[in-house]
A = this chain, B = another copy of it.
Amino acid sequence: MKIIVDAFGGDNAPLEILKGAAAAKAEFGCDILLCGDEELIRACAKENAIDLAGMEILTAEGFIPMEADPRALLKKYKNSSLGVACRALAEGRGDALVSAGSTGALVVGATFLVKRLKGVRRPAIATIMPGDKGHFMLLDSGANTELTPEALNVFALMGSVFMEKVMGVENPRVGLLNIGVEPAKGTDLQKHAYPLLEANEHINFIGNAEARDVPACVADVVVADGFTGNIFLKTYEGVALTLFSNLKEMFYASTKTKVAALALKGGLKDLKQKFDADAVGGAPLLGVQKPVIKAHGSSKEEAFKNAVRQAITFAESGAIETIEANLPKKEGADE
């Protein structure tokens, strides 16, 4: 098992990426192919005493900046760390790719270099989110703002297979993110997607998932267009942030509350961890021919190591073959 690592993607690259890759190699015994400027990688490793023994390096020129047009990955930045990494995956020089770099550029690289599965118009970013009783997958969480009902049906299948094969959820419950449970709720997109999902025999469709019930884990796979999914994701983060910051203020209000907070420290830490989206690792890009994992841009050693672990499980799972075999035939016409 060889994991291709974009050594210059993310806010803390290359240091935390190298540390995470080394930790993953030590813990999971996988091979690592680092993509990025070899000289800088070696210098950073030496300075920080990171053992690169047994890791290969595929040299590259710089990286694609967050603010660059993602499509520049195919031209101006084709030799960047991410561009080289995507081509290495396409050429079979490794089994899976992990990057903490620009999401948009990774989607472009996955789509045009790694390439889509036949019958998939655009890959989905599938975010694994914390909920009350475990995790659920939200897809699309931001890659595609405007989608067809057929595309949502493809996303439902891909999310379901991933949750079953990679995350170990048996017969995952698939819900359509909506503003009510009745089949006629929502915009035309949801109204037309509902019967397609209902007729899809490869998924366990439970109907509409009301946004209010999703944090309580009413579904294992939550299907949405990228605009709605991203609104959900960011509202979730924003409310959690605001509430935790208010709790903190409450705890620091007086000596009495500070003492009380001390007794609750462990519980609070667990609670924050439970609702910390980073703990799982990364977000798979579904709909491409090989396993691609987007690690959080702010990933440090531990988060990046977790993303590598997820890439290994993804590559070993056979999820992509199952998705390919069960894709709705009609989506091809949508090309």
Contact = CB atoms under 8 A, between A and B. Distances in A.
Interface of A: 131-132, 142, 145-146, 177, 179, 186-188, 210-216, 226-228, 230-243, 245-247, 250-251, 253, 256-257, 259-264, 267-268, 270-271, 274-275
Given A238-B213, A239-B240, A256 B246 contact: no
Contact of A257 (B212, B215, B236, B267): B267
Contacts of A232: 231, 235
Nearest to A227: B187
A270 B249 CA distance: 12
A179 B145 contact: yes
Contacts of A259: 260, 263
Chain A contact surface mostly: helix
Given A215-B239, A239-B239, A250-B270, 5 more contacts: A145-B187, A187-B227, A211-B231, A231-B235, A259-B260
Contacts of A267: 250, 253, 257
Contact of A241 (B215, B240, B261): B215
A236 B187 CA distance: 20
B211 A132 contact: no
Contact of A179 (B177, B227, B242, B270): B227
A322 to B, nearest CB: 30
Nearest to A231: B211
A273 to B, nearest CB: 12
Given A188-B146, A227-B186, A235-B214, A264 B260 contact: yes
A215 B243 CA distance: 9
A269 to B, nearest CB: 10
A233 to B, nearest CB: 8
A202 B119 CA distance: 48
A65 to B, nearest CB: 15
A235 B212 CA distance: 5
Contacts of A251: 264
Nearest to A253: B267
12 contacts: A132-B245, A145-B179, A187-B227, A212-B237, A212-B241, A239-B240, A247-B247, A250-B267, A250-B270, A257-B263, A260-B260, A260-B261
B145 A186 contact: yes
